[in-house]
Amino acid sequence: MVEGVATQFGALVWGMGDGYNPAMSIRAAIIGPTGYTGFWLIDLLLRHPAAEVSYLASHRDELPNIAEIFPALRGRCELSCRPIDPDVMVKEADVVFTCLPHKAAMAYVPAMLDVDLRVVDLSADYRLTDAELYEEVYQTPHTDRANLEHAVYGLPELYRERIEGADLVANPGCYPTAAALALSPLLQRSLIKPENIVINAASGVTGAGKSPKPHLHYPEVNEAYSAYACGTHRHQPEIEQTLSDQKGSGVSVLFVPHLLPVDRGILETIYVNPQDDDVTEDDLYEAFDDAYGDEAFVRVQSELPNIKHVRDTNFCDLAVRMVETGAGRKVVVFAAEDNMIKGASGQAIQNMNLMFDQGGTAGLL
């Protein structure tokens, strides 16, 4: 057995993530913890070596114990929800995660920032930097343009430095996370064309939330599969915004999501055109290796990704193929992630780690 002293502790907990400070515990509040993203945030915080759930806040009249909502949490976390009170929350928390529907989030975020709580917002309210575009896409006025201006898009592999200093992080959508990781290195290095990008995506049902709906009733989803929102999904402009920012000029995509009969997981199969005849599959892999060689949560691989291999992890798995067709070559990029982890709560924790200088991987490996 390896005996050690406290100063050697870091190495011993290596398996749980690098570089965190064991003498610190980030106290995390969650507003709206009763949905699926709330559940996975709590689950991850409970496993986190340097963070804890300190405050669960709800706007419900009857404030439930979280273990009543999620029986899986009994014996692990049995906090009762409390009112959304910034003055109390700031005393008990260092960071607040807002797990609210769009529109509701921006109603609470300003008050959190006002008391100097740092915020990771899992809604869509601060993702689109252009307020007019937001209003068009979400069909509601943007009521917090002041904070929108300095919100940081929380995709650590692309915007790590800005996240570290941010007070307000807009946690990316599940679909946009996979798309941005899959395409950014190829666009930045001018290996693929910025137009005619087709993103064929499929997601597990938790992505649609916890509220029962006729089309999400078990016998309607089980043994079923179909597309929805073809070219009209709200994540399409978010994807285009990130890719255009990464490319430095306009990028447009066609995004077609499908509903998979599984709980969790997103696979995106992306069809793009190589920039020119010289681009090889090796070039594409080199771009990935170059971009993600030091990233703990992006796995560049030769095998085609499977949502099962990323389940319950913060990984995004990437592969790429250059295919000859009768009418020229086509690039196919594959990206898999767990929509609840890298696509939502895991990425939120990753952002928190960066904001509090805990190393990106603490609690996530």
**CA distance linking residue 50 with residue 20, whole number of Å:** 7
DSSP state of 120: E
Cβ proximity to a second copy, 106 vs 348, nearer residue: 348
Q: How far is the CB of 22 from a second copy (least distance, A)?
A: 6
- 280 part of the interface to a second copy, by CB under 8 A: no
Site for a second copy in 345-364 (CB under 8 A): 356
- 99 part of the interface to a second copy, by CB under 8 A: no
Tokens at residue 294, please? 């030091």
- 8 part of the interface to a second copy, by CB under 8 A: yes
Half-sphere CA count of 306, side-chain side, radius 13 A? 3
Q: Which of residues 65, 143, 252, 275 is near a second copy by CB under 8 A?
A: 252
Cβ proximity to a second copy, 141 vs 225, nearer residue: 225
Q: Which of residues 131, 138, 330, 359 is near a second copy by CB under 8 A?
A: 330
- Dihedral of the alpha carbons of 149, 160, 249, 175, in degrees to the nearest 10: -90
Cβ proximity to a second copy, 13 vs 111, nearer residue: 13
Count residues binding a second copy (CB under 8 A). Answer: 109
Q: Which bin fits 56, alpha (ψ -120 to 50), beta or left (φ > 0)?
A: beta
Instruction: Please say whether the dihedral angle defined by the alpha carbons of residues 235, 237, 241 and 244, taken in this order, is positive or negative.
Output: positive
Q: How far is CA 103 from CA 143, 149, 158, 239, 285, in A?
A: 8, 16, 26, 20, 40
Site for a second copy in 52-71 (CB under 8 A): 52, 71
- 27 part of the interface to a second copy, by CB under 8 A: yes
Q: Which of residues 99, 166, 310, 349 is near a second copy by CB under 8 A?
A: 310
- Amino acid symbol at 118: R
Cβ proximity to a second copy, 80 vs 306, nearer residue: 306
Is 77 noted as a catalytic residue in this protein? Answer: no
- 114 part of the interface to a second copy, by CB under 8 A: no
Query: Which residues does 245 contact at the CB level (< 8 Å), separation at least 6?
Result: none
Cβ proximity to a second copy, 75 vs 146, nearer residue: 75
- 90 part of the interface to a second copy, by CB under 8 A: no
- 228 part of the interface to a second copy, by CB under 8 A: yes
Distance from the first to the final alpha carbon of the chain = 23
- Dihedral of the alpha carbons of 240, 245, 249, 250, in degrees to the nearest 10: 10
Q: How far is the CB of 64 from a second copy (least distance, A)?
A: 14
Cβ proximity to a second copy, 86 vs 106, nearer residue: 86
- 133 part of the interface to a second copy, by CB under 8 A: no
Catalytic residue of the set 77, 174, 230, 316: 174
**CA distance linking residue 345 with residue 275, whole number of Å:** 35
- Kindly list the catalytic residues: 174
